[in-house]
Structure 1
Amino acid sequence: MEEIRNLLDEEIKAEIEALSSLTFGSKEHLTATENLATLYKLRVDETKTALDFEEKSENRKNDDEFKKNQLAEQVKDRYFKLGIAAAELVLPLMFYAVWMRRGFKFEENGTYTSTTFRGLFNCFRPTKK
C-alpha cells in the first residue's frame, strides 16, 4: 500500500516538473494537465480509502470492546439476580427453621398450648399466599 502511494507521489512530481517545461496552452500542456489531474484524483481516492479503512478498523475494535464489556456486565447481572433469588428462598427457610425450633423447644410437652406459637405455626410455610 505504501509502495503505491510512493509511486503515485513520484509520478505526480514528475508530471509537475514536466508541466513546467511545456508551453502554456499547447496540446502537450493540456494532455499533461489532464494526466496530472487524473493522478491527483487517484491520490485523493487512495487517501480516502486508507482513511476509511483505518476508521472502520477502529470502529470494529471499539465495537468488540463494547461487546466484551456488555457481556461482562450481563454476567455480573445474572449472578446478582441468581444471588437475590437464592436469598429469597434461603432466608425465609432459615427464619422458619429457627422459629420452629424455638417453638418446639418451648412446647416440649407435645401440645401447642401457647397462642403465639399456634398462630405462627399456620404462617410457617415457604409458599406464597
Structure 2
Amino acid sequence: MPSGQSLPSGCPPEGHEPAQGTFFRLTRATLDVGEEPIEDWKLPLDTKSSDAYQQVDNCLAYAYSLFKDLADLLNARESVPWARKKTIAQVDLEPAMGRILRTESDLGPSHHDWWPSRNDLIPPARVIEGRVA
C-alpha cells in the first residue's frame, strides 16, 4: 500500500490466507532469463494503465496478480497478444510477506491476488521464461 495509505475496510476479502509457496507473474519484455524483476512491483493503485489506478477504496488496487500454475501463463502467452510480449518470473512467498486469495482471471484458473505486508516489499523473484519471439 502506498506510504500513509491503509487497506480499505474488508481488505483482503474473506478467505485469504498467509502467502506461502511458489507463484508466477508476467513481467517486462526487456528482462532476460535469470534477471530479478525488481522494477515490476508497482501496485495497480499506482499504475496508470491499470483499471484500479488511483482507486484508493478498491481492494484490488493493493494486490498483485500471481498464478500458482506456470502452465496458465504459458498458455496465456499463446492466446493473448499482450501477454505474448511479457516474460515470466517465479516468485517465492512466505507467510510474513502478506496475504493471498485465489481469484478469477481470464488468463487461467490458478490466479491469485497477493496483498503484500508492506508497500515497499519486493519478493524473491527471477525470470524463468523469456518473451515469445
Compute the TM-score of the two structures, normalised by the length of structure 2: 0.16
Higher helix share: 1
Quick check: which one's strand share is greater?
A: 2
Larger radius of gyration: 1
TM-score normalised by the chain length of structure 1: 0.17
